[in-house]
Amino acid sequence: MNGLSAKAKEEDRQLHERLISIRRDLHQHPELAFQETRTAKRICRELDRLGIPYQSGVAETGIVADIPGRGDDSKKIALRADIDALPIHEETELPFSSQNDGVMHACGHDGHTTMVLGAAELLARDDDLPAPVRLLFQPAEERGAGAKAMIAAGALENVSMIFGGHVDRHYPTGTIVTHAGAVNASTDMFRIEIRGKGGHAARPHESIDSVVVGSLLVMALQTIVSREVNPAHPSVITVGRFDAGTASNVIAGRAELEGTIRTQENSVRDHVIASLRRICESVGLLHNAEISMSVREGVPPVINPPAMADIARRAASNVVGPDYAVPLHTANMGGEDFSYYLESIRGCYVRFGAREEGREGYPAHSSQFDFDENVLPIGANYFYRVARIAGAILQEE
Return residues touching Ni ion (CB under 5 A).
107
Q: Walk across the sheet containing 159-172 and list its strands.
A: 54-58, 62-67, 133-138, 76-82, 159-172, 346-355, 176-177, 325-326
CB of 383 to Ni ion, least distance (A): 16
Question: Cα–Cα distance between 369 and 361 in angstroms, integer?
Answer: 7
Q: Which is nearer to Ni ion, 165 or 253 (CB)?
A: 165
CB of 239 to Ni ion, least distance (A): 25
Cα of 234 vs its chain's centroid, Å: 18
Question: Cα–Cα distance between 130 and 343 in angstroms, integer?
Answer: 25
CB of 22 to Ni ion, least distance (A): 18
CB of 80 to Ni ion, least distance (A): 12
| Strand-pair partners of 199 | 251
Q: Which is nearer to Ni ion, 117 or 221 (CB)?
A: 117
Q: Which is nearer to Ni ion, 65 or 107 (CB)?
A: 107
CB 173 within 8 A of CB 249: no
Nearest residue to Ni ion by CB is 107
Q: Which is nearer to Ni ion, 107 or 161 (CB)?
A: 107
CA nearest neighbour of 271 among 329, 331, 219, 224 = 224
Instruction: Read off the DSSP letter of residue 126.
Output: -
CB of 371 to Ni ion, least distance (A): 11
Q: Which is nearer to Ni ion, 209 or 337 (CB)?
A: 337
CB of 83 to Ni ion, least distance (A): 11
CB 316 within 8 A of CB 325: yes
Cα distance between the two ends of the chain: 40
Q: Which is nearer to Ni ion, 83 or 151 (CB)?
A: 83
